[in-house]
Chain A
């Protein structure tokens, strides 16, 4: 194409365009920066997880899981905090999940688009309320005058969980095909039976994913529990009307302790908590993958 002459020079694709070297350099710098950022992010994760694993693993033993926290110096475990955390998170789930699913059902099955949008904004704002504010809200509403209790702790976690599960569920319900509902309604099935027997079961994978992620979040939440269930005896107890020790609050207390033995226990407790959170997140991924496979198969 480029025979000769300056007139054809600008159509000559073999000629290097002006500043190409500089442009190539910028391109390479950009790629290098991108790689470096990813390395930094993964490096931080590795650093935190590595430290927790390295410092916590040597502390783990059977008695760490079966014995309550010691009062002075003696060897002990975190069984009291494990029992407390399990009870509080369990109660929180019982309070928040049915509530959240009902809210989501109303939004996707009954509410008009306008009201549904308003509710979505309300839930997103509720989701943005800092955990510490939720803690002091429950403290002011219930704990003042009555004292701390595991029930109030569960309630404050439920306030955090409600918008997470409701939004996740509502988003899943929205993508359930209309035809499924219409087929059921056309067979003479009522609206509510359609919702309970057709819509919710086909959304179960997505709902579970949302629930599991929310449980992982609230199980590690410390701020609301500081105000509602932090002043507790270090013993295994199932009395939910009193404050119970929990894993996050125990880690918080360990981290503020000057005693190296307690700090070591803090690392081990952190390892247990991170382990739980990671398992929950992997579980969520499995649920999500199953669901995707089913949708693709259908």
Chain B
């Protein structure tokens, strides 16, 4: 190969050693990447495997059966699915307009010097561990809801069945409100990032044509960011679905679908957390895992849909 006179033998040897390093490093990092993917599969498989006794015994009817009776060894998930969906939906309805308004305030209204510290504070709200929020929820917020908010709701909207019954410091409503507090920072942080990335020319152009700031936001900025907002809401929803600890502290762990929002209820995550000290039968253990499997499917679907929305949004944005 060479005719220049120097012997390539020694460099060749070294090069082989170097090659080995490259191959090894690539192999190890590939193994790590594959292991991460395998982990997701392992979690799915193990949860289904452990839930199998209950899946076998109750079949799909578990999903629409309202029962949790360790004496008769009869279980169903409907009450917990209802609790999860209901608390999360209430949280979503309350948190979404508030989050969008916060994000608009931070990007469009507030002067920069004010916006930066407030954005940091909203981020810190997201950093509060859920167990601390639950502690606050059960010892401070719950009693306040019982003594002030619920009597007021009853006075104003008492004709609605959801606001009937005895005000209580634990129940569906306090749990939904704690979840609202948990998801506001998530959705508002994502919305803020979205609004910052909307091209300034669009809003400026609209205002130059004579629209007010609000009109520019409603007719230009919000439609432009709409898919992203949808994804932000879905990610917040995913968090609300999966939260177990703060909810289990304030929801009261009821076994049935409550008729009023003041009554105790339970969510999938909260029921699983409440049973950590052990199940009394194989079927009960399986049923808890069945709940975990349902929870996993719900959060998976929410997350994947959010991803798809983001991916589409990115594609549309790139087309501009």
A residues contacting B by CB (< 8 A) are 17, 23-24, 26-27, 30-31, 33-38, 40-42, 44-45, 48-49, 51-52, 99, 102-103, 105-107, 109-111, 119, 121-126, 128-137, 140-141, 159, 162-163, 166, 190-193, 195-196, 216-217, 219-223, 226-227, 230-231, 248, 251-252, 254-256, 263, 266-267, 270, 273-274, 277-278, 281, 285
Q: In the complex, what residues of A have CB within 8 A of residue B300's CB?
A: 125, 128-129
* Residue in A34, A130, A190, A255 whose CB lies within 8 Å of B101: A34
Hey, what's the 0/1 contact readout for B253-265 against A, CB within 8 Å counting as 1?
0000000000000
Hey, what's the 0/1 contact readout for B213-255 against A, CB within 8 Å counting as 1?
1110100000000000000000000100111110001000000
Q: List 11 A-B contacts (CB under 8 A).
A: A17-B210, A44-B181, A48-B132, A109-B29, A125-B304, A130-B241, A133-B43, A137-B47, A191-B26, A256-B138, A273-B129
The distance in angstroms between the C-alpha atoms of A103 and B43, with both chains bound, is 18
The answer to whether B122 touches A45, judged by C-beta atoms less than 8 angstroms apart, is yes
The distance in angstroms between the C-alpha atoms of A263 and B140, with both chains bound, is 11
Q: Which residues from 70 to 91 on chain B have a C-beta closer than 8 Å to any C-beta of chain A?
A: none
Do A124 and B307 form a contact, CB below 8 Å, given A119-B36, A267-B135, A270-B135?
A: yes
List the A residue with the shortest CB-CB distance to B114.
A38
B121 CB–A CB distance under 8 Å:
yes
The answer to whether B39 touches A130, judged by C-beta atoms less than 8 angstroms apart, is no
The answer to whether A274 touches B128, judged by C-beta atoms less than 8 angstroms apart, is yes
The distance in angstroms between the C-alpha atoms of A159 and B36, with both chains bound, is 9
The distance in angstroms between the C-alpha atoms of A64 and B122, with both chains bound, is 30
The distance in angstroms between the C-alpha atoms of A54 and B131, with both chains bound, is 18
The answer to whether B21 touches A106, judged by C-beta atoms less than 8 angstroms apart, is no
Q: In the complex, what residues of B have CB within 8 A of residue A133's CB?
A: 43, 47, 242, 272, 292, 295-296, 299
Do A106 and B303 form a contact, CB below 8 Å, given A38-B102, A130-B244?
A: no
Among B1-9, B54-62, B105-113, B198-206, the one that faces the other chain is B105-113
List the A residue with the shortest CB-CB distance to B125.
A45
* Residue in B25, B217, B269 whose CB lies within 8 Å of A132: B269
The answer to whether A102 touches B28, judged by C-beta atoms less than 8 angstroms apart, is yes
- Say how far A191's CB is from chain B's closest CB, in angstroms: 5
Q: In the complex, what residues of B have CB within 8 A of residue A191's CB?
A: 22, 25-26
Do A140 and B132 form a contact, CB below 8 Å, given A111-B33, A124-B303, A252-B245?
A: no
The answer to whether A23 touches B273, judged by C-beta atoms less than 8 angstroms apart, is no
B residues contacting A by CB (< 8 A) are 18-19, 21-22, 24-26, 28-30, 32-33, 35-37, 39-40, 42-43, 46-47, 49-50, 98, 101-102, 104-106, 108-110, 118, 120-125, 127-136, 138-140, 181, 184-185, 188, 210, 212-215, 217, 238, 241-245, 249, 269, 272-273, 276-277, 288-289, 292, 295-296, 299-300, 302-304, 307
The distance in angstroms between the C-alpha atoms of A191 and B19, with both chains bound, is 9
Do A126 and B36 form a contact, CB below 8 Å, given A136-B288, A220-B131, A263-B139?
A: yes
The answer to whether A110 touches B50, judged by C-beta atoms less than 8 angstroms apart, is no
The distance in angstroms between the C-alpha atoms of A228 and B98, with both chains bound, is 37
Q: Which of A123, A130, A131, A216 has the most CB of B within 10 A?
A: A130
Do A277 and B36 form a contact, CB below 8 Å, given A136-B289, A193-B21?
A: no
The answer to whether B26 touches A41, judged by C-beta atoms less than 8 angstroms apart, is no
- Say how far B124's CB is from chain A's closest CB, in angstroms: 6
Q: In the complex, what residues of A have CB within 8 A of residue B110's CB?
A: 34, 38
- Say how far A72's CB is from chain B's closest CB, in angstroms: 21
Q: In the complex, what residues of A have CB within 8 A of residue B39's CB?
A: 126, 159, 162
Q: In the complex, what residues of B have CB within 8 A of residue A49's CB?
A: 128
Q: In the complex, what residues of A have CB within 8 A of residue B109's CB?
A: 31, 34-35
Do A41 and B47 form a contact, CB below 8 Å, given A122-B36, A130-B242, A136-B292?
A: no
The answer to whether A37 touches B98, judged by C-beta atoms less than 8 angstroms apart, is yes
* Residue in A30, A159, A285 whose CB lies within 8 Å of B213: A30
List the B residue with the shortest CB-CB distance to A163.
B36
The answer to whether A30 touches B36, judged by C-beta atoms less than 8 angstroms apart, is no
List the B residue with the shortest CB-CB distance to A28.
B214
Q: In the complex, what residues of B have CB within 8 A of residue A128's CB?
A: 238, 242, 299-300, 302-303
Assuming A34-B102, A48-B128, what are 10 further A-B pairs, CB within 8 angstroms?
A: A23-B215, A38-B101, A102-B28, A102-B32, A106-B32, A109-B29, A126-B39, A252-B249, A273-B129, A273-B132
List the A residue with the shortest CB-CB distance to B51.
A140
List the A residue with the shortest CB-CB distance to B108.
A34
The answer to whether B303 touches A41, judged by C-beta atoms less than 8 angstroms apart, is no
- Top 8 nearest A-B pairs by Cβ distance? A220-B129, A130-B242, A34-B105, A37-B101, A192-B25, A128-B303, A102-B32, A106-B29
Q: In the complex, what residues of B have CB within 8 A of residue A34's CB?
A: 101-102, 104-105, 108-110
Q: In the complex, what residues of B have CB within 8 A of residue A48's CB?
A: 125, 128, 132-133, 136, 181
